[in-house]
């Protein structure tokens, strides 16, 4: 059968081959066939070209513009791809590029898209030539795989630009379509080698090569971190723990779901007791009830040991960022919970660029202006019933 898609540019192909070795080469480099965790990269100070987005309308316009100007490839992953007005816009742009001969692929999560109507958009996409794949659809032969989800939100265009972060494709993030109560989220755009690396990570998950990982530079100022493969399952949590242990001045965490393990709790407490300004920003009301209650249980020891916790009230907070001492940062798709650290497939950028740190810290303090600090443990639960719900949710935290 004749391939209806145009091939990638030769330089993109060659760069992808450099970044993504075959399985034999991967075994030679110790990526496949070993369970021992890979060593963590030692980040050095440096500048990282990066654009941060905190408004859905600006982000969606940039993504759609990149799609419309694509020449060779448009590869999209989204945990949620809704059939609303935002999803329709993306569908039209993707279909137009596929008809023009561009290699267009859409990888959606079966659990994430379950109630968002993506199945209504799929026939139009497929008819236009878009390759569509559902990640871990339900099957009686292997029902437990449904619990491990592709939580990444990634768009790669021509191997030259990559968008990723917390934004899903739905109207809830749009001021024009949803109004003042739109979700508060954070996304970023990277280009060059990082975009090529993101494309290679997309392809690896697309073809089912879950053990592949990119080669790690010797002295990077930034790295893309995923928990793809058993040797990288704990990479992000280990990087965060190391950054917290080395913090000297401040740790600012923004997350919609905070259900930490004991190591993370101890590290935050140790930092606070050592005089580090440790602040945690979470939504006042979450969109997942059990996760909301479980996080309240996790707050108690932190509050008692000097960690400052703030409730963001105006909108639903969905951003996932960390800044340590104004220079170590991470931004991406991972929440501070068991599911992101142990179960889901995630993608985060970790860097030591003070410029990124300044942008994320400024956004953090802007969010604090619309937040209220939780000062007393007694205010965590309004009634004994709520406390019981919190305890039940905490016991089930590994499943949330």
Q: Show me where the domains of the chain are located.
A: 16-222, 223-399
Residues in Cβ contact with 231 at an 8 Å cutoff, skipping those fewer than 6 apart: 31, 34, 35, 36, 37, 38, 211, 213
158 is catalytic: yes
Write down the catalytic residue from 103, 325, 337, 353.
325
Kind plus residue range of the DSSP H or E element containing 329: strand 328-332
337 is catalytic: no
> Which neighbouring-strand residues pair with 324?
251, 328
Q: What is the DSSP letter of 184?
A: B
**Residue 229's pLDDT is what?**
66
Confidence of residue 64 (pLDDT cuts 50, 70, 90): very high
Burial class (CB in 10 A: 0-12, 13-18, 19+), 246: exposed
Q: What is the mean pLDDT of residues 239-267?
A: 96
142 is catalytic: no
Confidence of residue 379 (pLDDT cuts 50, 70, 90): confident
Q: Return the exposure string of 136-151: e unless at least 16 CB atoms fall within 10 Å of the residue's CB, then b.
A: beeeeeeeeebebbbb
Write down the catalytic residue from 107, 170, 292, 320.
320
Which residue is associated with the tokens 């860097």? 351
**Residue 21's pLDDT is what?**
40
Q: What is the largest CA-CA distance in the chain?
A: 68
Q: What is the mean pLDDT of residues 296-323?
A: 95
Write down the catalytic residue from 107, 187, 318, 337.
318
Q: Are 52 and 360 in contact (CB under 8 A)?
A: yes
> Which neighbouring-strand residues pair with 115?
none
Residue closest to 167 by CA, chosen among 179, 151, 178, 181: 151
Contacts 24+ apart (CB under 8 A), 227-234: 227/341, 227/342, 227/344, 227/345, 227/346, 228/201, 228/204, 228/345, 229/31, 229/32, 230/35, 231/31, 231/34, 231/35, 231/36, 231/37, 231/38, 232/37, 232/38, 233/37, 233/342, 234/37, 234/341, 234/342
Q: Is the CATH number 3.40.50.1950 carried by domain 16-222? A: no
249 is catalytic: no
**Residue 227's pLDDT is what?**
83
**Residue 78's pLDDT is what?**
98
Residues in Cβ contact with 255 at an 8 Å cutoff, skipping those fewer than 6 apart: 280, 281, 282, 319, 320, 335, 336, 337
Burial class (CB in 10 A: 0-12, 13-18, 19+), 1: exposed
Q: Fold identical between 16-222 and 223-399?
A: yes
The full DSSP string for 138-151 is --TTSGGGGGS-B-
| pLDDT score of 10 more than 50 | no
Token readout for 390 is 């919190």
| pLDDT score of 24 more than 60 | no
Q: What is the mean pLDDT of residues 285-302?
A: 85
**Pairing between strand 131-135 and 154-157?**
unpaired
| pLDDT score of 276 more than 90 | yes
| pLDDT score of 35 more than 80 | no
Q: What is the mean pLDDT of residues 312-318?
A: 94
| pLDDT score of 396 more than 90 | no
pLDDT in tens, 224-241: 998 876 667 788 999 999
Q: What is the mean pLDDT of residues 56-85?
A: 98
Give the rounded distance of the alpha carbon of 305 from its chain centre.
29
Q: Domain 223-399 has what CATH class?
A: alpha beta
151 is catalytic: yes
| Top-confidence residue, 280 or 2 | 280
Write down the catalytic residue from 107, 151, 170, 292.
151
Percent of residues, the chain, with pLDDT higher than 90: 67
Q: Give the global pTM.
A: 0.88
Give a three-class secondary structure readout of 239-256.
Answer: HHHHHHHHCCCEEEEECC
Write down the catalytic residue from 103, 109, 158, 185.
158
Between CA 311 and CA 314 the distance in angstroms is 10
| Top-confidence residue, 66 or 37 | 66
**Residue 5's pLDDT is what?**
27
φ/ψ (deg, to 5) at 250: -155, 150
11 is catalytic: no
Between CA 254 and CA 163 the distance in angstroms is 19
| pLDDT score of 16 more than 50 | no
Confidence of residue 351 (pLDDT cuts 50, 70, 90): very high
Confidence of residue 11 (pLDDT cuts 50, 70, 90): very low
Q: What is the mean pLDDT of residues 213-222?
A: 76
Q: What is the mean pLDDT of residues 341-364?
A: 95
If you average pLDDT over every residue of the chain, what do you get? 87
pLDDT in tens, 170-213: 999 999 999 999 999 999 999 999 999 999 999 999 998 877 77
| pLDDT score of 273 more than 90 | yes
Write down the catalytic residue from 153, 170, 187, 292.
153
| pLDDT score of 140 more than 80 | yes
Token readout for 218 is 């010797």
């Amino acid at each position: 059968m004749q391939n209806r898609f145009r091939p990638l540019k030769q330089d993109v192909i060659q760069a992808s081959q450099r970044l993504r070795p075959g399985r034999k080469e991967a075994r030679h480099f110790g990526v496949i066939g070993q369970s021992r965790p890979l060593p963590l990269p030692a980040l050095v100070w440096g500048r990282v070209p990066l654009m941060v987005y905190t408004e859905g309308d600006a982000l969606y316009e940039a993504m759609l513009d990149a799609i419309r100007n694509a020449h060779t490839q448009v590869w999209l992953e989204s945990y949620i791809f809704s059939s609303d007005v935002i999803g329709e816009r993306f569908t039209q742009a993707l279909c137009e590029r596929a008809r023009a001969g561009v290699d267009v692929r859409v990888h959606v999560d079966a659990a994430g898209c379950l109630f968002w109507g993506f199945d209504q958009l799929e026939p139009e996409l497929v008819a236009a030539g878009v390759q569509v794949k559902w990640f871990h659809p339900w099957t009686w032969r292997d029902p437990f795989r449904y619990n491990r989800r592709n939580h990444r939100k990634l768009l790669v265009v021509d191997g030259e630009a990559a968008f990723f972060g917390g934004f899903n494709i739905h109207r809830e993030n749009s001021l024009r379509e949803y109004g003042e109560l739109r979700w508060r989220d954070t996304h970023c755009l990277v280009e060059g080698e990082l975009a090529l690396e993101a494309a290679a990570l997309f392809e690896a998950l697309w073809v089912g090569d879950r053990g592949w990982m990119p080669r790690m530079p010797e002295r990077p100022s930034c790295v893309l971190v995923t928990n793809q493969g058993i040797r990288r399952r704990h990479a992000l949590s280990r990087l965060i723990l190391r950054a917290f242990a080395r913090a000297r001045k401040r740790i600012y965490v923004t997350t919609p779901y905070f259900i930490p393990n004991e190591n993370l709790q101890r590290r935050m407490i140790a930092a606070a007791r050592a005089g580090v300004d440790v602040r945690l920003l979470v939504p006042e009301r979450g969109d997942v009830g059990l996760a909301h209650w479980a996080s309240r249980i996790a707050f108690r020891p932190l509050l008692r040991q000097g960690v400052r916790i703030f409730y963001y009230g105006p909108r639903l907070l969905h951003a996932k960022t960390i800044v340590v001492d104004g220079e170590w940062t991470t931004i991406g798709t991972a929440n501070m919970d068991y599911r992101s650290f142990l179960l889901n497939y995630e993608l985060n950028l970790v860097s030591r660029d003070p410029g990124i740190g300044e942008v994320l810290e400024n956004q953090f303090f802007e969010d604090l202006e619309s937040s209220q600090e939780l000062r007393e443990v007694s205010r965590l639960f309004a009634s004994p019933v709520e406390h019981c719900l919190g305890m039940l949710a905490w016991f089930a935290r590994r499943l949330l």
